[in-house]
Amino acid sequence: MIAIIDYGAGNIKSLQFALDKLNKESVLTTDPQVIRDAASIILPGVGAFKDAMDAINEMGLAEVIKKEAASGKPILGICLGMQLFYERSYEDGDWEGLGLLKGNVSKIRDTVKVPHMGWNTIAKHQESRLLKDLPEDFYVYFVHSYAVDTLEETSLFGSTQYGGVVPAIVQQGNVTGMQFHPEKSGDVGIKLLQNYEEMIS
């Protein structure tokens, strides 16, 4: 069972539909015990960093997520969910994240249109089971105004170019992040989710 954490983010139905296509059972939950009992966790994301962290903290889920991640349970962050893994975000202020990964989140440079909405290619930085059977450059769908701008290079597995380098796939141990929306990225997105599930099973 995959626990999708319900902190008020939108776009959950398309994620569950994508998991259904892979015959992966999922549940949308805020129940700490369900999260603890799940085989893996997904932190989805559409919305503002502060609002998301406020909701997670108010529901008492921040410590649950941190403990489960520290125990080695696989956890995937999608879009805002990936950004929440980092230490800080400077989205309309200065906000503390979950700190599962080292680094910060800042606004995309204003040399390009913000928000970044649409299809962009991903360039691989290193090999991973997550990227198995995917071409060297593949297209995925982005919707975001903020991105990780400092991180540990060893955790960077894929990036795109949009006003500079935008970290798009990160992975450190059992913690994986995708800045784009795999559930909206067609067959490539389904393949990424399939690879992720095979990697953690």
**80: domain CATH number?**
3.40.50.880
Residues with a known catalytic role: 79, 181, 183
pLDDT given at position 201: 87
How far the first Cα of the chain sits from its last, in Å, is 11
pLDDT at residue 45 tops 90:
no
Percent of the chain at pLDDT > 70 equals 99
pLDDT given at position 10: 64
Number of domains in the chain: 1
pLDDT digits (tens, 9 = 90+) for 88-144: 999 999 999 999 999 999 999 989 999 999 999 999 999 999 999 998 889 999 999
pLDDT given at position 137: 87
pLDDT at residue 7 tops 80:
yes
Q: What angle do CA 15, 20, 140 make, to 5 degrees?
A: 40
pLDDT digits (tens, 9 = 90+) for 8-31: 866 688 999 999 999 999 999 999
CA distance 91 to 41: 25
Residue range 41-49: mean pLDDT, rounded: 91
Residue range 67-77: mean pLDDT, rounded: 98
Expressed as residue numbers, the domain containing 119 is: 2-200
Average pLDDT, the chain: 95
Residue range 180-201: mean pLDDT, rounded: 96
pLDDT at residue 199 tops 90:
yes
